[in-house]
Amino acid sequence: MVEKGERRGRGRPRTFDADDVLDKVIDVFWELGYDAADTETLAKSTGLTKPSLYNAFGAKEDLFVAALDRYRQTRSKASLDAMAKAGTPSDGIRDYFENLAKNVASPDHPSGCLIMSVAMPLKDRLPKVAEFMENAPKESLARMVAYFSQQTKKGNLPRGFDAMAAISLLQDLSAGMIMQARAGAPLDALRSKAIRNTELVLYEGQRGVAE
């Protein structure tokens, strides 16, 4: 938990949980989009005043980038965590897609992905968002490369397994699920794709492996 202070006249500042604030901000940006999410709506959703929100996080673009990073560290990271915890590559990739489906199509929050659905179209006009979009995928890619390398060393994948080909297809299939969710595809429909997508990713990685 990260605490920040809101000055209230004399005396000690009132503290609040910055992560909790950002979780609420995520939902506003996710549902309304960047432009429609005005500072008044953002402040109301968090229970803070507009000056307090600005003092804690900066301008609107700064707040949005902070929300993106919080989203990446929690909801996006959860799919990679699910993959890493499974015992086999087939279980891990399936769990990745099932977790992704829940993240992008759960009725408990807006559909789609905050990064792909909301931030991506903004990178050409918001420089701080562009910087985030350039750097954020690197950590996910590094984790995926390490995961497939580890699975190959363990003997769970054949020698010569093309991790980059598998990762590229996994990312393409993930983007497709995100777009389908944003278009209204229900959670069950996306979860049903997990096994098929897993088979496709593993096949793609093994296509060049010698018989």
Q: What is the pLDDT along the chain (211 residues), one digit of tens a residue?
A: 445 554 444 444 457 899 999 999 999 999 999 999 999 999 999 999 999 999 999 999 999 999 999 999 999 999 999 999 999 999 999 999 999 999 999 998 889 999 999 999 999 999 999 999 999 889 999 999 999 999 999 999 999 999 999 999 999 999 999 999 999 999 999 999 999 999 999 999 999 775 5
pLDDT of residue 15: 73
Q: Which residues pair with 67 in a beta bridge?
A: none
Residue type, 177: M
pLDDT of residue 14: 53
Whole-structure pTM value: 0.86
Residues 6 or more apart in contact with residue 25 via CB below 8 angstroms = 42, 45, 46, 63, 66, 67
Q: How far is CA 180 from CA 157, 160, 176, 184, in A?
A: 30, 33, 6, 6
Provide the 3-class DSSP secondary structure of residue 31.
Answer: helix
pLDDT of residue 208: 72
Q: How far is CA 138 from CA 59, 63, 133, 208, in A?
A: 26, 22, 10, 25
